[in-house]
Amino acid sequence: MESMANDFPGFDGLEDDPKALGQMMRKIGAETGEAMPAEFDEVVDRLEAGQSPEEIESVLPDLGLDNSNDE
């Protein structure tokens, strides 16, 4: 994680730069060493292509929601 601080010295402005946000998310995913769900890769790919988080949410409105009822 320490190396990410050098690559992304501040998180300021990332909400205005989808490509940088996607790159940061991809790097964080790689640094964790854990397998990420396919949805994560799709969102990161879309961000890196320049799609805003709002656009992604409108195209994939159920992304990340757990619609199961375990009660």
Please list the pLDDT of the chain residue by residue as tens digits (71 residues): 345 545 555 666 777 889 999 998 999 899 998 998 889 999 999 999 999 988 999 998 887 655 454 44
69 within a domain of the structure (yes/no): no
Greatest pairwise CA separation for the chain in angstroms: 45
Tell me if 50 sits within 8 A of 25, measured CB to CB.
no
68 within a domain of the structure (yes/no): no
d(CA 46, CA 42) in angstroms, rounded, equals 6
State pTM to two decimals.
0.69
16 within a domain of the structure (yes/no): yes
d(CA 43, CA 34) in angstroms, rounded, equals 17
70 within a domain of the structure (yes/no): no
Give the chain's domain count.
1
Q: Containing domain of residue 13, as a range?
A: 2-59
42 within a domain of the structure (yes/no): yes
Tell me if 47 sits within 8 A of 56, measured CB to CB.
yes
d(CA 57, CA 59) in angstroms, rounded, equals 5
